[in-house]
Amino acid sequence: MVNSYSLLIKIIIKKILLISIVSIAVGQNTPEENKLPKKFDSLNDNQKNQLIVLLRDAAKLVNGVRVQESLEKIISAEDLVIDYAPLLNLKGAAYTKIRDFDKAQSAFAKALKIEPKGVMTSFNLYEMYFVKKQYKEAETSFKSFLKLNKDIPESTSVLVKYKILICALKQGNPDQAKSILDQFDFLDDHPLFYYGNAAMHFQNDEVNEANSWLIAASKIYKPAVNDLYKDSLIEVGWIENIE
């Protein structure tokens, strides 16, 4: 009886092994494999909808003050997909919000690898050099960005030139900064002329003169535009963040 029972166990084990081998041969996924994140193109409609909902909720949280909750949503989304650039961009934005620039940079770099022609992805990645005060790398990257993306909106190209101007100042190249500033004047649709002059004065510790340019800009341009340009001055340390 014992021998018969042992023989039965051996037969069952052999059948299990045979089924496993056949499953691998025909490409069937094990339950563990089904839980692994997949490529975006292989997701079914339900999974894609689930991903969209997670990203929408996470984006709302990033734009608010609940960044940690946003990261939890993003991590849940990463359990679904491994190669979705918008997800990695959002992850980078979340880490930028809490000033974890190394993790943000890593996320943007992965997104750019997936989507090499992503214009804003590359801008976000190069911005990490700027906020980490790696001005030489930032300047080189921003110049390359402008050469490779000649069709970007004027507002974006002017903002990038403004950042290059600041990079030049921080590296002790005022003549290069002045050559950029000379391309603009007080009638432009974008405030580089005002903020560029302010940056020149801040670099020379002429705070009152710099603030005069900021006040003038605030009377001409919309608050959102002013905030965008002020942000670079904050990152450099020339003005305080009053939020």
Read off the pLDDT band of 228 (50, 70, 90): very high
Instruction: Give pTM, 2 decimals.
Output: 0.79
**pLDDT tens column, 159-175:** 999 999 999 999 999 99
Query: Does the pLDDT value for residue 50 go beyond 60?
Result: yes
CA angle 165, 90, 236 (to 5 degrees): 25
Mean pLDDT, residues 31-48 taken together = 68
Query: Does the pLDDT value for residue 86 go beyond 70?
Result: yes
Query: Does the pLDDT value for residue 39 go beyond 60?
Result: yes
Mean pLDDT, residues 6-16 taken together = 38
111 and 85 Cβ atoms separated by less than 8 Å: yes
SS3 38: strand
For residue 168, give the nearest of 158, 159, 157, 180 by alpha carbon: 180
Cβ contacts of 30 within 8 Å, gap of 6 or more: 23
124 and 160 Cβ atoms separated by less than 8 Å: no
For the chain, give the mean pLDDT: 85
**pLDDT tens column, 95-104:** 999 999 999 9
Please state, in angstroms and rounded to a whole number, the distance separating the CA atoms of residues 71 and 78: 10
101 and 128 Cβ atoms separated by less than 8 Å: yes
Mean pLDDT, residues 22-48 taken together = 57
The three-state DSSP-derived secondary structure of 129-189 is HHHCCCHHHHHHHHHHHHHHCCCCCHHHHHHHHHHHHHHHHHCCCHHHHHHHHCCCCCCCC
Higher per-residue confidence, 17 vs 72: 72
Q: What helix, strand, coil percent values describe the chain, rounded to 5? A: 75, 0, 25
Mean pLDDT, residues 71-90 taken together = 86
Query: Cβ–Cβ contacts within 10 Å for residue 180, how many?
Result: 17
DSSP 27: T
CA angle 237, 218, 236 (to 5 degrees): 10
